[in-house]
Amino acid sequence: MSTDSLGGRLRALIIGDAQADRVVPPSGFTAQLTLFAAGAMAFLAVFALALSLASGRLADRWADELARAATLRINAPAEQRTAQTEAALKILRQTPGVASARAFTAEEQAALLAPWFGAALPLDALPVPQLIEVIEDDPGYDATGLRLRLQAEVPGAVLDDHTRWREPLVDAARSLRLLAVVSILLIAGAMGAMITLAANAALAANAQVIEVLRLVGAQDGYIAQAFIRRFTLRALSGAAVGMGFGMLGVWLMPAASDEGGFLTGLGFQGFGWLLPLAIPLLGALVAYIATSRAAKKRLGDLT
């Protein structure tokens, strides 16, 4: 398609033709269906897009937080716990690839257990293991070799590199992101199907008018352009309204918080708020393609 032809189509789509526009009913079932379908699908697309972006952030955050951290538990009798803790810290500080290692204080361990056992948990009266936080450095440490050395020198030490926790969580977040992308594609397909039905209904209802236009010399492209323009603009306006309500709904959702976990913070962040602005344009593109195909097929059947 040449640049002049594309520019001509864009001008015809924006400016239109008053005579040709009379072919398409300005109101009625088809207009309402187009506006409702575009608005509803844009509303759902905003939430699907927000879920996709939030899932991506969640996957990256979980991966970053868990990839470089490990926990060493000292399961030893109370009289041996301090000595084994010091021995484990010494080994960790001598291990290549370990950036830092520190033992949790009693207050920090109590805070970790407080959500399950309450704030007044008496750690001294319970056999709670001593926890050591291990931060990995680039390029990382040899976990197998470190476990073997700890097993030989600190019998009560158990190294947990969070692999069994990290991989399922990251996979789940990535699956949510993929599901959101698939949802956006399904939304676009459903919108295209409903607009196709509306365009077919409008074309069938105006079959006699189309025949008259043909008799006076109107080309099928001229007639089709009227339907394409009207349905594209309806979809654009409906999608813009739906996008506005969707962004308002996302803005009203709870902000990210540690208490809410992954159930909060599902909105947009920073320049992400600009991404939904593309939804009305994509809706108009879907309507343009769907109406073009419907008009071409229907006008061919009416020949």
CB burial string 245-259: b at 16+ within 10 A, e below: ebbeebeeeeebeee
Q: Is residue 43 over pLDDT 80?
A: yes
Q: What is the pTM of this model?
A: 0.66
How many whole angstroms separate alpha carbon 200 and alpha carbon 285? 18
Check residue 236 and give its pLDDT. Answer: 92
Q: How far is CA 35 from the centre of its chain?
A: 25
Please indicate whether residue 303 or residue 106 has the higher confidence score (pLDDT).
Answer: 106
How many whole angstroms separate alpha carbon 195 and alpha carbon 14? 19
pLDDT band at residue 198, thresholds of 50, 70 and 90?
Answer: confident
Residues 6+ apart with CB under 8 A from 131: 71, 72, 73, 74, 103, 104, 109, 112
Does the bond joining 139 to the residue before it have cis omega, within 30 degrees of 0? yes
Check residue 260 and give its pLDDT. Answer: 47
Strands 98-103 and 130-136: antiparallel
Query: In whole numbers, what is the pLDDT of the chain averaged over residues?
Result: 79
Which helix (H) or strand (E) is 130 found in, with range? strand 130-136
Q: How is residue 197 written in tokens?
A: 């039905």
Q: Is residue 5 over pLDDT 90?
A: no
Strands 130-136 and 69-74: antiparallel
pLDDT band at residue 67, thresholds of 50, 70 and 90?
Answer: low
How would you list the strands of the sheet with 157-160, edge to edge?
Answer: 98-103, 130-136, 69-74, 157-160
- What does residue 255 show for φ and ψ, rounded to 5 degrees? -75, 165
Instruction: Report the sign of the C-alpha dihedral through residues 222, 224, 226, 229, in that order.
Output: negative
Pick the range with the lowest mean pLDDT from 5-14, 24-33, 194-203, 232-241: 5-14
Q: Rounded to the nearest 5 degrees, what angle is found at the Cα of 62, between the Cα atoms of 59 and 68? A: 130
How many whole angstroms separate alpha carbon 158 and alpha carbon 131? 10
Residues 6+ apart with CB under 8 A from 154: 74, 84, 87, 88, 91
